[in-house]
Structure formats: C-alpha cells, structure tokens
Structure 1
C-alpha cells in the first residue's frame, strides 16, 4: 500500500477553526462592550432629561405663582406686578439621594412684555440645561418652553385675563 500524502490536513483545519473562533470571540467582546456603553448612555440621557424638566418646572412655578406678584406703588397699590425672571441658581441640592444626583442644571429666562387691548401679557422664554456624567458617559439635555401670564386692569382682583 502506498503512503498517503494527506498528513497534516487535520492540523491545518484545527488552526483555521481556532483562528475563526478567536475572531468570533473578539467580535462578541467588542459588541458586548458597545451595547453596555450605549445602554448606560441611554439611561444617563433619560436622567438628564428629567433634571432639565425639573429646571423648567421650577422656573415656571417661579413666574406663575400668584404669591410671586408684587404690588405697584404708589399710583395703583392694588395692581400686581408680573414676576421677574427667576434669579439665582436652580436648587440642585434637592437632587441629593435621588437618581438625578450629580446633574448640574442651569435655567435661563428671557421676559418680553406685550399689550393686547387693555390687557398686559408677559411671555417668559425658559431654557433649562442639565449636564451630568463624565467621559464617554457625559450627557446634556436642553428643554425650551414659553410661559405667558396675563393681567387685566379692568378685571377684579387678582386681575387675571
């Protein structure tokens, strides 16, 4: 019987399979790492959105709260002023012990006065920016909204339109 020349074929097949399996393992590791980073960033983005929303709600309360209106003196002491744009930092200390801890929130406000007939209308443009996280997990969310308040000098107190 002649000697077969196919010796070593099994070795080549085994090395080929090891290379393919190693490449597949490296791909799976990379894919898993990207999935983990994406999920973490998504959660941080949701938290940043909620922090920015809290900033908008805080600013809207500051301008819509009836107790925030001052009184014009001395010409018409019963006529309430419109609140000024919210000043001072947003109270991020309220986030302590929550999932929003670690987010910095800034609130900006632009006020514009308008007259419609005998009614006075003030429009507040509110912008809340929340930033949190670090490195590849850093996220920022910005929310813009407008809030208006109307006073009618011909209406009884509290002069709402």
Structure 2
C-alpha cells in the first residue's frame, strides 16, 4: 500500500492534529493584547482630558479673583484687605502690593496684583494656576 493514487490520497488524507488550535490560540492572545493596550490608551487619554479641564477651571478661578481684586483696587484707590477666598472649590490667595512713585508733580500708585487658585482634593492631586497684573493710578 505504498503507492497510493491521488484519488485514494484525497479520500484518506494524513491525520494532522492540533495545528489549527495553536494558530487560533496565537490569534486570540495577540488580539487580547491589542485590546488591553487600546483600553489603557483610552483611559490615559480620558485622564489627560480631565486634568486639562481642571486646569482650565483653576485658571478661570484665578482670573476671576484677579478681576475682583483689580475692581476693588481701582474703586478704592488702595489694596483691599481680603487675602483668601473660596470659589467653586478652589482656594484663592489674593495678593496686592502698592508702590508709590513721584515724577515731577504727579504721583503714581502702582499696584502689583496676584491671584493663586489651588484645589488639592481632586482625583489627580493638586491643581493650581496663578495670574498677575500691574495697575497704575495717577493722582495729581
């Protein structure tokens, strides 16, 4: 029975066991790894987006504190007494420094204003932003 014809060979193919199982397992492992990497990338991207949003909130909280400080300074002509405020969960530290300069007969008041917003109870740790501005008032 050594010499089989092609027809007989097709009727009784040689038995190969397990090769397709190895290929299927390899494909499943590769696809599982790709799915895990894609899930990790999605989670990282989502965390970056949330961190960016909290940074924007901190910036606008600091900016609003600075605008309030500027308004109070221009309205009263001197630094206001408030130094800390809480806005939307952000602790604002407001600073004002007054410098008086004299040029000829004019007296200039220069106010260096600063606002620092900080939030420490977040899912990503501490978020903080700082804004500064200088305001000049001229009095004769």
**Residue-by-residue CA offset, 1:41-77 (whole Å, 9 max, x unaligned):** 1111111111000111111111101xx2xxxxxxxxx
Q: CA deviation at 1:137?
A: 5.2
CA separation in 2, counterparts of 1:86 and 1:64?
Answer: 10
Q: Which runs of 5+ in 2 are unaligned?
A: 1-8
Match of 1:61 among 49, 57, 71: 71
Provide the secondary structure at the position in 1 that maps to 2:64: helix
As a proportion of its length, which structure holds more helix? 2
Aligned residue number for residue 54 of structure 2: 44
After TM superposition, the structure 1 = structure 2 runs for residues 4-153 of structure 1, keeping only pairs within 5 Å, are 4=14, 6-65=16-75, 68=76, 82-83=77-78, 85-92=79-86, 95=87, 101-132=88-119, 133-136=121-124, 138-152=126-140
CA separation in 1, counterparts of 2:28 and 2:39?
Answer: 16
Give structure 1 regions of 4+ aligned residues with deviation exceeding 4 angstroms: none
CA separation in 2, counterparts of 1:63 and 1:25?
Answer: 57
**Residue-by-residue CA offset, 1:61-106 (whole Å, 9 max, x unaligned):** 11101xx2xxxxxxxxxxxxx41x22223443xx4xxxxx111111
CA separation in 2, counterparts of 1:147 and 1:11?
Answer: 76
Please give the root-mean-square deviation of Cα atoms over the aligned residues, in Å. 1.8
Q: CA deviation at 1:117?
A: 1.4
As a proportion of its length, which structure holds more strand? 2
Q: Which runs of 5+ in 1 are unaligned?
A: 69-81, 96-100, 153-161
Provide the secondary structure at the position in 2 that maps to 1:136: coil
How many aligned residue pairs are there?
Answer: 129
- Normalising by structure 2, report the TM-score: 0.83
